[in-house]
Amino acid sequence: MTAPNTIRRLNAASPNFGEQLDHLLSWESVSDDGVNQRVLEIIADVRTRGDAALVELTQRFDALQVTSMAELILPRERLQLALTRITPEQRKALETAAARVRSYHEKQKQDSWCYTEADGTRLGQQVTPLDRAGLYVPGGKATYPSSVLMNAIPAKVAGVAEVVMVVPTPRGEINEMVLAAACIAGVDRVFTIGGAQAVAALAYGTESVPPVDKIVGPGNIYVATAKRHVFGKVGIDMIAGPSEILVVCDGQTDPDWIAMDLFSQAEHDEDAQSILLSPDAAFLDAVAASIDKLLPGMEREPIIRTSLAARGALIQVSDMNQAIEVANRIAPEHLELSVENPEQWLPQIRHAGAIFMGRYTAEALGDYCAGPNHVLPTSGTARFSSPLGVYDFQKRSSIIHCSAQGASVLGKTASVLARGESLTAHARSAEYRIKN
């Protein structure tokens, strides 16, 4: 048996399981008044002073000795140079992943549609790409080239003409893998700026940074707060919470594999959540033993240990039906169905960001290169939102083309309803189109 403080054990049959689960899942982003105030000041500064503010804020926050905006622009040639500075193996891995991500996302592209009614009236929707998208890429510690692929490729597949990337380079540190990924993904322009100032620049534009229509990509509390504030001026993706995985296992997968799958989520950060459901109590024991055996060898052991103790759980369920019920209650970001015949459970799964089917589909495969996006709804938001996709970089315009006959018929209905709402200009505008 594992030491009780490594990871908690729960049983769905216990009378207070509902409360225990609620407590385990509870996570609310803290909004910090101090952060909020500083972010508002930074946004106002960038709106007022443009490039000059960006240069100063980058000097201050990124400890960069720059004197002009020109030093904060990376030309396309610099991205190409990065391709030669990573290993051939890394370059091949990025290119393989990019090709698979592109191929999968091309199937998400939505087309305009239209139909004609008997009287000649035509109705439909015209689907168009955004003009310009902004991609925030964190610098410093957590530099994820895979995120560059996952955010930029759907935009380019959608047909976005210009993808603008911002990435801070604190103390001049540049991640060559990130630049190489940007090159492969087809990013059009890169600015080495970050934080709330980069978000403000993308939303409002400066002399050098073009304003974008939507900002996507992960970031720290300053970046997330800034994104909330510019929402409405531009589109944003979801504000992500900590990453989570829910593994459902029938007890027949190698417990070492499952332990490592749980670690792969827990290693992200101390708030990450790894939960395993199984009807097999002996299997839960075996996974607990694997956890204790494998943990000491892990490079990020302290983070994994903190995360598992704070937010992890091994939960015994009565059967697979109860497992699916709990999974729907959690609406996990990542759901791994490590069971014999995963297809049979799929129709019952109502809420999950991504579903990893069968014993071979480790979440890590999906994180990097299977094809689907790794930007997924967290903290139960899979109840109402979707993976990042091509559809996030397309929008629709309704098309209404009434024939003279169609307008005459519709005008009568519109007139009655408009008068029922006391909107008589609406009514009269419709009535002009009624034939005598």
Burial of 298 (0-12, 13-18, 19+ CB in 10 A): middle
Q: Is 31 annotated as a binding residue?
A: no
Among 68, 113, 116, 344, binds a second copy (CB under 8 A): 113
Asked if 225 touches a second copy (CB under 8 A), the answer is no
Among 12, 104, 155, 320, binds a second copy (CB under 8 A): 104
Write out the binding residues for a second copy, residues 137-176 only, by CB under 8 A: 143-146
Query: Three-state DSSP class for 245?
Result: strand
Asked if 353 touches a second copy (CB under 8 A), the answer is yes
Among 135, 150, 185, 234, binds a second copy (CB under 8 A): 234
Write out the binding residues for a second copy, residues 290-319 only, by CB under 8 A: 298-300, 304
- 28 annotated active-site: no
Among 102, 156, 268, 311, binds a second copy (CB under 8 A): 268
The token pair at 26 is 């509870």
- 333 annotated active-site: yes
Q: Which residues pair with 74 in a beta bridge?
A: 190
Closest CA to 102 of 341, 370, 344, 284: 370
Give the Cα separation of 54 and 61 in Å (integer). Answer: 10
Q: Is 367 annotated as a binding residue?
A: yes
Taking residues 384 to 403 in sequence order and writing x for each that binds a second copy by CB under 8 A, - otherwise, the string is: xxxx-x-x---xxxxxxxxx
Choose the catalytic residue: 244, 267, 333, 336: 333
Closest CA to 94 of 137, 152, 138, 135: 152
Choose the catalytic residue: 334, 336, 363, 374: 334
Q: 């009624």: which residue's tokens? A: 434
Asked if 36 touches a second copy (CB under 8 A), the answer is no
Q: Which is nearer to a second copy, 5 or 26 (CB)?
A: 26
Burial letters 19-44, b for 16+ CB under 10 A, else e: ebbeebbeeeeeeeeebbebbeebbe
Burial letters 385-422, b for 16+ CB under 10 A, else e: eebbbbbbbbbeeeeeebbeebbbbbbeebbeebeeee
Q: Shortest distance, CB of residue 254 to a second copy, whole angstroms?
A: 7
Active site residues: 333-334
Bind-site residues for substrate: 243, 265, 268, 334, 367, 421, 426
